[in-house]
Amino acid sequence: MRARDLLADFPTVGLDTPVIEAARLLADQDLPGLIVVDADGLPFTILPGTQVLRMAVPGYCQDDPALARVIDEAHADLFLRQLSERTVREALPRERRELPVADLNATVLELAALMARTHSPLVAVVAGGRLHGAVTLQALLDRAVEA
Amino acid sequence: MRARDLLADFPTVGLDTPVIEAARLLADQDLPGLIVVDADGLPFTILPGTQVLRMAVPGYCQDDPALARVIDEAHADLFLRQLSERTVREALPRERRELPVADLNATVLELAALMARTHSPLVAVVAGGRLHGAVTLQALLDRAVEA
């Protein structure tokens, strides 16, 4: 079993996509994370769901969740609205993540090791200079527990 | 909207649960992670799906995924089988993670900040000395994008 047997189409967002749209895509399609592509359609970064959420949470709340508690419930409910038109490019963390990217021939064990090390529940599959789709943790586990 | 409005029952595993069973639970129920409980039924640790997978991947492959490539496809397919009866206790990483745990009154913003900081797509809700369930990233996002 190789990445080519496990991959599926996976939606992407661009660097100029508003964060609110990225969050909506994640929610509506129950995705484990997002692939952010560059102008060539290749992975620029791959964000686990928690890190998509991170783009939407004010920095002061991340550093000290006690500060999140001072925001009242009505305002807390609307935290995504505060994003307005902020784009993925503007909200991305400064540090670059190791990209969980594999080729079509990656084995189940390679994909699992990559997910474990990069803390990413999805791996983008790139070959011949284009993005073929992604292998998700669920797809990999579903097959691995049957083996 | 508070944690009490977003929480749902969430299955747990014990420290003596075999890792293979934990992986199967994650796969069968499409969970974003697992709550590992202690003898009192309280969260001992909370593992995102990638870190459940990590328990099943040999250490040498995590450090250097190129080494995963030397394992042939037939053996790689069966990597979960190699676990045999290894338990969660035996496979847990040494470093203790910050526990993503909240009380029933945590707001959406508190929950989001906690998920973002701990890289955990689920937060366990504990009150009155017992585990009430969990709030998942998907449950939180579903409500937040509607707000």
What is the domain partition of chain B in residue ranges? Answer: 3-146
Q: What average pLDDT does range A5-25 have in this prediction?
A: 94
* Contact check, Cβ <8 Å, A77/B147: yes
Cα B65 from Cα B58, distance rounded (Å)? 10
Report the pLDDT value the prediction gives residue B68, as an integer from 0 to 100.
82
Of the pLDDT bands very low, low, confident and very high (cuts 50, 70, 90), residue B128 is: very high
Sheet strands (E) in chain B: 12-14, 33-37, 43-48, 101-102, 122-127, 130-136
H or E stretch including A136? Answer: strand A130-136
Higher model confidence: residue A121 or residue A73?
Answer: A121
Question: What DSSP string describes A52-113?
Answer: HHHHHS-HHHHH-HHHHTTS-HHHHHTTTGGGTT-BHHHHS-SSPPPP-EE-TT-BHHHHHH
* Contact check, Cβ <8 Å, B76/A137: no
Q: Which of A61, A49, A83 is nearest to B32 (CA)?
A: A49
Residue A14 has pLDDT above 90, yes or no: yes
Q: Is residue B92 a contact partner of residue A47, using CB atoms and an 8 Å limit?
A: no
Report the pLDDT value the prediction gives residue B93, as an integer from 0 to 100.
78
Q: What average pLDDT does range A76-86 have in this prediction?
A: 78
Residue A11 has pLDDT above 90, yes or no: yes
Nearest to A115 among B50, B73, B142 (CB): B50
Q: What average pLDDT does range B20-49 have in this prediction?
A: 93
Q: What average pLDDT does range B21-40 have in this prediction?
A: 93
Report the pLDDT value the prediction gives residue B8, as an integer from 0 to 100.
95
Q: What average pLDDT does range A129-142 have in this prediction?
A: 95
Count CB-CB contacts under 10 A for residue A145: 17
> ipTM, 2 decimals?
0.89
Higher model confidence: residue B63 or residue B134?
Answer: B134
Of the pLDDT bands very low, low, confident and very high (cuts 50, 70, 90), residue B98 is: confident
- Which of the given ranges, A52-66, A67-81, B42-56, B60-74, has the highest pLDDT on average? B42-56
H or E stretch including A45? Answer: strand A43-48
Cα A9 from Cα B145, distance rounded (Å)? 24
Report the pLDDT value the prediction gives residue B82, as an integer from 0 to 100.
75
Give residues 1 to 60 of B whose Cβ lies within 8 Å of A. 1-2, 20, 23-24, 26-28, 30, 32, 48-51, 53-54, 56-57
The fraction of chain A above a pLDDT of 90, given in percent, is 59
* Contact check, Cβ <8 Å, A48/B51: no
- Indicate the CATH number of B3-146 among 3.90.1150.10, 3.10.580.10, 3.40.630.30, 3.90.230.10: 3.10.580.10
Q: Please give the interface size between A and B, counted as residue pairs whose CB atoms are below 8 Å apart.
A: 183
* Range scoring the smallest mean pLDDT among A3-7, A14-18, A108-112, B78-82: B78-82
Residue A97 has pLDDT above 90, yes or no: no
Higher model confidence: residue A31 or residue A69?
Answer: A31
Residues of B in contact with A76 (CB under 8 A): 1, 107-110
Name the residue in chain A with its Cα closest to that of B139. Answer: A27
Report the pLDDT value the prediction gives residue A60, as an integer from 0 to 100.
80
Q: List phi, psi (to 5°) of A22.
A: -60, -45
DSSP state of A33: E
* Contact check, Cβ <8 Å, A76/B109: yes
Q: Is residue A83 a contact partner of residue A20, using CB atoms and an 8 Å limit?
A: yes
Choose the mutation target among B50, B79, B82, B108 for the interface with A, i.e. most A CBs under 10 Å.
B50
Residue B130 has pLDDT above 90, yes or no: yes
* Contact check, Cβ <8 Å, A27/B147: no
Mean pLDDT for chain B overall: 89
Tokens of B18: 């075999």
Q: What average pLDDT does range B23-36 have in this prediction?
A: 93
Report the pLDDT value the prediction gives residue A85, as an integer from 0 to 100.
79
Which pTM was predicted? 0.89
Q: Which of A96, A3, A107 is nearest to A43 (CA)?
A: A96
Of the pLDDT bands very low, low, confident and very high (cuts 50, 70, 90), residue A72 is: confident
Report the pLDDT value the prediction gives residue B50, as an integer from 0 to 100.
92
Residue A147 has pLDDT above 90, yes or no: no
